[in-house]
């Protein structure tokens, strides 16, 4: 058994690194336990070709250190995975974080002991760690979702997961490659690997809505000019509901909300919208997030916009989504639809002919067999809760967090704590703004709130803090009421936002949609009122 720290932090990604730094600043002893062999979290594991952030680098970065934001040099408007991984390593070195990060340490169980008021964490290698407080900075999209397709294990070629992409990359040249899934990940990867492979078959169950985007290198002096105004940029970001004030995948949604309704638009106005802005114009209507009929009209128009890009009419029709726009996370792409005009790319519409089985040499659908050398699974994540339900988290009376979330749905107070699990904080837990915002802005607020809370508990001599069930219930009522009248809860929406992508997971929208500033105000108010809704003992 090792000496106890004040705080054990699970995960060395964006959240865990800042949590460690913040705790140190507050004079607390902390240790980070990370299951991977390197730091980086989600940005380490998801190193598939084309992996990139959809928020501008200048905003998708830590704001807490003026030195770091001035010293680090971003090269592109929206950063690619290698640059983000390098940035996190730079931060770890710059803040001397590595000495308190234990790599290759996969936490598999953790138990709260009522008598001592401490958590004991058990790692896969048998090591145990004890501390009064635990911060789960284990990521919202870190637990991959492996599909259960008959015959998966029989495939004789290479099976690859985008969420565990091999370090050093994979040579796909000359290969016949199948991609399963068409979410954000696949939409980023498909145009990139299509240029390399001999033949690409995209197995699509749910077509995505995706908006064309231009990512570019910074021009000479452009980044320096922005850095000179960093104070203003950060302030605008902090005041923005999504935590990013510049153009991003999310900000286009906010703009759409204040656009005129499609239902009263004339046919000429609709066509003009597509003439002027393509697929983006087809969706730029304010009523489509609240009115399913309006949403269907916009989807039909979106189909017309796709048909202007994709030459084969059958492929173009197969690319039209069946779910309402906005109910899944917005996607941006670079040349996604154009990729289907390539001779070496085939779209397989699983809505018509589902996958029947995977065989040693490829994939059988209900209609056809596809010979493949490589199958790439881009099948998503058990989001928000998966990183903690994979661990045996036992709170008061030995109750398992996994069971609580299975029975009640992914409940939490503020996305920060779960009733029955004292002294356990979750960075970006369910019910927090994380999912639909700039993750980095959101996590900085969480980390700072958690750090201040633990420092307060220690200073005031409190041994435990615990979310009260009534406060948790009220919070969930509040978060779900915010989305009740939107397409986010439409039955056709199988999204990681609501857990419907995971078989058996209780369906519940897991975000907080009133924006980060309002969320921050509420969290500060709660802390200011002596941590209202929490029991301090
Ligand atoms: P997503 O957005 O959850 O997409 C997963 C995709 O995989 C989606 O198209 C799924 O179709 C598809 N899928 C999953 N299981 C299967 C099976 N068994 N057969 C066929 N297709 C399947 O995950 P991403 O990794 O793309 O993106 C996650 C987030 O990362 C993203 O929102 C950004 O925040 C970054 P379905 O829709 O379930 O029919």
Q: Torsion over CA of 400, 402, 405 and 407, rounded to 10 degrees?
A: -80
Name the strand (E) or helix (H) holding 159. Answer: strand 158-161
DSSP string, 38-72: SS-THHHH---TT-B-SS-TTTSS--S-HHHHHH-
Ligand 1 atom 38: the closest Cα is on which residue? 501
What does the pLDDT read at residue 435?
83
- Tell me the average pLDDT of the chain: 96
Ligand 1 atom 26: the closest Cα is on which residue? 183
Whether pLDDT at 430 is above 60: yes
**Residue 479: helix, strand or coil by DSSP?**
helix
Whether pLDDT at 4 is above 90: no
Q: Quick one: which atom of ligand 1 is closest to the CA of 163?
A: 25
What does the pLDDT read at residue 2?
43
Ligand 1 atom 22: the closest Cα is on which residue? 181
What does the pLDDT read at residue 250?
86
Compute the distance from residue 167 Cα to the ligand 1 centre, in Å. 22
Q: Quick one: which atom of ligand 1 is closest to the CA of 380?
A: 23
Same fold, 7-143+382-536 and 144-208+328-380: yes
**Residue 424: helix, strand or coil by DSSP?**
strand
Distance separating alpha carbons of residues 509 and 316, to the nearest angstrom: 31
Taking the domains of the chain in order of start, what are their residue ranges?
7-143+382-536, 144-208+328-380
Compute the distance from residue 495 Cα to the ligand 1 centre, in Å. 8
Q: Quick one: which atom of ligand 1 is closest to the CA of 496?
A: 3
Distance separating alpha carbons of residues 429 and 472, to the nearest angstrom: 13
- As a whole number, mean pLDDT of residues 362-390 equals 98
Q: Please write the tens of the pLDDT for every residue from 242-264.
A: 999 998 888 888 889 999 999 99
Tokens coding 125: 């290698």
Whether pLDDT at 236 is above 80: yes
Gyration radius (Cα) of the chain, Å: 23
What does the pLDDT read at residue 398?
96
Phi then psi for 333, rounded to 5 degrees?
-145, 165
Q: Please write the tens of the pLDDT for every residue from 65-77.
A: 999 999 999 999 9
Share of the chain above pLDDT 70, in %: 99
Beta bridge partners of 129: 121
Query: What is the pairing mode between strands 101-102 and 128-131?
Result: unpaired
Ligand 1 atom 10: the closest Cα is on which residue? 181
Compute the distance from residue 499 Cα to the ligand 1 centre, in Å. 12
- Topology of the domain comprising 144-208+328-380: FAD/NAD(P)-binding domain (3.50.50)
Compute the distance from residue 181 Cα to the ligand 1 centre, in Å. 5
- As a whole number, mean pLDDT of residues 232-251 equals 94
Confidence of residue 364 (pLDDT cuts 50, 70, 90): very high
Domain 7-143+382-536 top-level CATH class: alpha beta
Residue from 332, 501, 502 to probe ligand 1 pocket by mutation (most atoms less than 8 Å from CB): 501
* Strand ranges inside 199-247, DSSP E: 199-204, 211-212
Sign of CA dihedral 455, 458, 464, 467: negative
Confidence of residue 24 (pLDDT cuts 50, 70, 90): very high
Ligand 1 atom 25: the closest Cα is on which residue? 380
Q: Please write the tens of the pLDDT for every residue from 149-205.
A: 999 999 999 999 999 999 999 999 999 999 999 999 999 999 999 999 999 999 999
Compute the distance from residue 380 Cα to the ligand 1 centre, in Å. 4
Ligand 1 atom 18: the closest Cα is on which residue? 147
Whether pLDDT at 3 is above 80: no
Compute the distance from residue 318 Cα to the ligand 1 centre, in Å. 17
Compute the distance from residue 33 Cα to the ligand 1 centre, in Å. 28
Confidence of residue 1 (pLDDT cuts 50, 70, 90): very low
321 contacts: CB under 8 Å, gap ≥ 6? 206, 207, 208, 209, 299, 302
Compute the distance from residue 379 Cα to the ligand 1 centre, in Å. 4
Distance separating alpha carbons of residues 163 and 165, to the nearest angstrom: 6
- As a whole number, mean pLDDT of residues 421-437 equals 95
Q: Quick one: which atom of ligand 1 is closest to the CA of 208?
A: 9
Q: Which residues line ligand 1 (CB under 6 A)?
A: 141, 147, 149, 180-186, 203, 205-206, 329, 350, 378-381, 494, 496, 501
**Residue 25: helix, strand or coil by DSSP?**
helix
Compute the distance from residue 43 Cα to the ligand 1 centre, in Å. 18
Ligand 1 atom 14: the closest Cα is on which residue? 379
Ligand 1 atom 27: the closest Cα is on which residue? 184
Share of the chain above pLDDT 90, in %: 95
Q: Please write the tens of the pLDDT for every residue from 445-474.
A: 999 999 999 999 999 999 999 999 999 999
């Amino acid at each position: 058994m090792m000496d106890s720290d004040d705080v054990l932090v699970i995960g060395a990604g964006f959240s865990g690194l800042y949590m460690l730094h913040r705790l140190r600043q507050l004079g607390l002893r902390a240790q980070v336990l990370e299951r991977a062999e390197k730091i980086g979290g989600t940005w380490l594991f998801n190193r598939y070709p084309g992996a990139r952030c959809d928020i501008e680098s200048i905003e998708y970065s830590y704001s807490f250190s003026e030195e770091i934001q001035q010293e680090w040099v971003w090269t592109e408007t929206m950063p690619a995975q290698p640059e983000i991984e390098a940035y996190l390593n730079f931060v770890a070195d710059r803040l001397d974080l590595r000495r308190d990060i234990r790599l290759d340490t996969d936490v598999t169980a953790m138990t709260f002991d009522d008598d001592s008021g401490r958590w004991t964490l058990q790692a896969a290698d048998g090591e145990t760690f004890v501390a009064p407080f635990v911060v789960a900075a284990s990521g919202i999209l870190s637990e991959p979702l492996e599909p259960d397709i008959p015959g998966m294990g029989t495939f004789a070629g290479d099976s690859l997961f985008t969420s565990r992409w091999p370090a050093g990359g994979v040579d796909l040249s000359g290969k016949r490659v199948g991609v399963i899934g068409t979410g954000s990940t696949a939409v980023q990867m498909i145009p990139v690997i299509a240029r390399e492979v001999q033949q690409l078959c995209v197995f699509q169950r749910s077509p995505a809505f995706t908006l064309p985007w231009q990512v570019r290198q910074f021009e000479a002096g452009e980044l320096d000019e922005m850095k000179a105004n960093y104070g203003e940029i950060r302030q605008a970001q902090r005041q923005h509901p999504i935590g990013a004030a510049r153009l991003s995948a999310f900000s286009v949604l906010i703009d759409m909300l204040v656009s005129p309704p499609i239902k009263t638009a004339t046919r000429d106005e609709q066509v003009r919208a597509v003439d002027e802005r393509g697929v983006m114009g087809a969706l730029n209507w304010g009523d489509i997030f609240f009115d399913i009929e309006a949403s269907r009209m916009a989807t039909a128009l979106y189909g017309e916009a796709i048909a202007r890009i994709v030459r084969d009419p059958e492929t173009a029709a197969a690319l039209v989504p069946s779910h309402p726009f906005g109910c899944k996370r917005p996607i941006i792409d670079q040349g996604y639809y154009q990729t289907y005009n390539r001779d070496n790319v085939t779209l397989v519409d699983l809505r018509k002919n589902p996958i029947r089985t995977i065989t040693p040499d490829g994939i059988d659908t209900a209609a056809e067999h596809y010979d493949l050398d490589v199958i790439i699974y881009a099948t998503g994540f058990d989001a928000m809760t998966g990183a903690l339900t994979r661990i045996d988290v036992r709170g008061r009376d030995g109750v398992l967090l996994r069971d609580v979330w299975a029975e009640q749905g992914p409940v939490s107070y503020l996305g920060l704590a779960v009733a029955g699990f004292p002294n356990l904080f979750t960075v970006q837990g369910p019910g927090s703004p994380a999912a639909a915002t700039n993750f980095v802005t959101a996590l900085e607020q969480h980390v700072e709130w958690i750090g201040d809370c633990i420092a307060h508990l220690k200073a005031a001599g409190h041994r435990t803090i615990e979310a009260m069930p009534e406060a948790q219930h009220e919070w969930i009522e509040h978060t779900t009421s915010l989305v009740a009248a939107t397409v986010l809860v439409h039955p056709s929406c199988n999204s990681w936002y609501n857990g419907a992508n995971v078989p058996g997971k209780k369906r519940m929208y897991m975000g907080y949609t009133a924006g980060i500033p309002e969320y921050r105000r509420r969290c500060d108010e709660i802390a200011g009122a002596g941590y209202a809704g929490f029991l301090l003992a």
